[in-house]
Amino acid sequence: HKILYKQIDKVIVAGKNSARDLLLTHPISESQVALLPYGLDTHRFDNITDHRKKFSIQENDLFLGVFARIDRQKGIKELLLAIQSLISEGLSIKALFMGDKTIGDPDAVAYQNEIQEIMKDEVLQKNVTFKGFQRDYLGYVNSVDLMVLPSYKETYALTILDAFYLKKPVLSTNAGGTPELVSTERGWLALPKSTPSLAEKLKEIYAQKQTLQTKGQNAHDYICKNHVFSAVLTKLEEIYTQ
């Protein structure tokens, strides 16, 4: 095992978080590790639709989009409770949750039941929509003001790359590899597993809605510089020529 890894020139990983995990679990040196971001196929964004009109969004609404499995580790419940508390305080928030429950997880049904119990609240029923995964997923990302990813931990969330390219800033959690992508220039970070922290950040965002456009443009520029195929191929060539 150790002999094999000594013969490897480079191990390519997508992010610093993965690199740290690799160094802790494998007999390799830091000089053997090379960072190469995931490449984004921008042709996927050609001719996408905007579904915003389907949700009757008003001018003062903050429209959130959550694109993830209905899974306990995704922090859906914590975010839903945060939205509930903010609407009760008078904030005008709408939200779209798009995703199916995790297949093969014995906890999936129980968790879905917990979500359905919370959704019995009439206020949430008026302002929150749940949809299964849609093939036109990017069209729905394109429709929201802010993507929210409240996961307990993500190694490298590819949905963030999609949101960024579409000039949508992201509110996520300060855990796993997410902080590498979501900086203060491109979004916000809340504590994982924390309804109060999510509520605090959403209240801050709501009060500063004018920053969404600037952060969204910063996010798009970041993707074009680091994640489009041409940029990733250039970095790959640099790794091979080192």
At residue 128, the pLDDT reads 98
Is the pLDDT at 165 greater than 80? The verdict is: yes
What does the domain layout of the chain look like in residue ranges? 2-42+226-241, 52-225
pLDDT-derived band at 83, boundaries 50, 70, 90: very high
Contact 171, 188 (CB under 8 A): yes
Structure confidence by residue, pLDDT tens digits, 89-144: 999 999 999 999 888 888 999 999 999 999 999 999 999 999 999 989 999 999 99
What is the value of pTM for the model shown? 0.92
Structure confidence by residue, pLDDT tens digits, 22-81: 899 899 899 999 999 999 999 999 999 989 999 999 999 999 999 999 999 999 999 999
Buried b / exposed e over 41-67, threshold 16 CB at 10 Å, is eeeeeeebeebeeebebeeebbbbbbb
* CATH number for the domain running over 52-225: 3.40.50.2000
DSSP state for residue 10 in the 8-state scheme: -
Structure confidence by residue, pLDDT tens digits, 172-226: 999 988 999 999 999 999 999 999 999 999 999 999 999 999 999 999 999 999 9
Dihedral pair phi/psi, residue 124, rounded to 5°: -65, -40
The Cα 212–Cα 191 span in angstroms is: 20
- Tell me whether strands 33-35 and 93-98 are parallel, antiparallel or unpaired: unpaired
